[in-house]
Structure 1
């Protein structure tokens, strides 16, 4: 029996162990993987980064690398067609925008569980998504 009756589920990934668990939990809970969206948000390249200065790295090469990594991690995607996207931008903003534009009914987001000063300085993507998402958010912790 599914945990939620949902049409479209979004699982943001940063390729951490927690995000793999969130993707697997979505697959187990919802069964129909055609309704599961997995996204990875890349931070924009800064003009002073070595790859940009030497013109060896651009958004397309980074996107191709991430897509290849996802297909290696989840090789049976052909049997289970998960919608995978790579977006460049601010993680929390892009996740919220993607959820709004793709009529996402539930976001399953992993949390790194930072506390104290590190959370204050680094911020929390999961917290911002919970606050501003246009749909319910399930936070998966260790």
Structure 2
């Protein structure tokens, strides 16, 4: 009986520590006190847990294209906010505001707000908030 209890406690500890290790700290990955805006063409929307990702091709003033990976909330949480896997598709023109990654060469953002420019669909904005 004692071996079963010990084994159960060890298994529980392993599961808890694995889940805690797998999740990362946003401030360790992103500069949460800064926000930048990007505008471009959505090339992939990965609607999944634990975090969804949006990949966007952004052209600079010289016409050079850079692909950004934008980390979003998990599919479960986004679904409760009305976002589905059909909300965005490749080819959508989007503007995204987010926290930049700590390594600029990674071209990563942590999603704060997104707008699909063709129809004005918006997520993450307060009701009367406008950005130009």
**Aligning the two structures, in what range does the TM-score lie when normalised by the shorter sequence?**
under 0.3
TM-score normalised by length of structure 1? 0.21
Between structure 1 and structure 2, the one with the greater Rg is: 2
RCO higher in 1 or 2 (8 Å CA, sep ≥ 6)? 1
Structure holding more helix per residue: 1
TM-score normalised by length of structure 2? 0.22
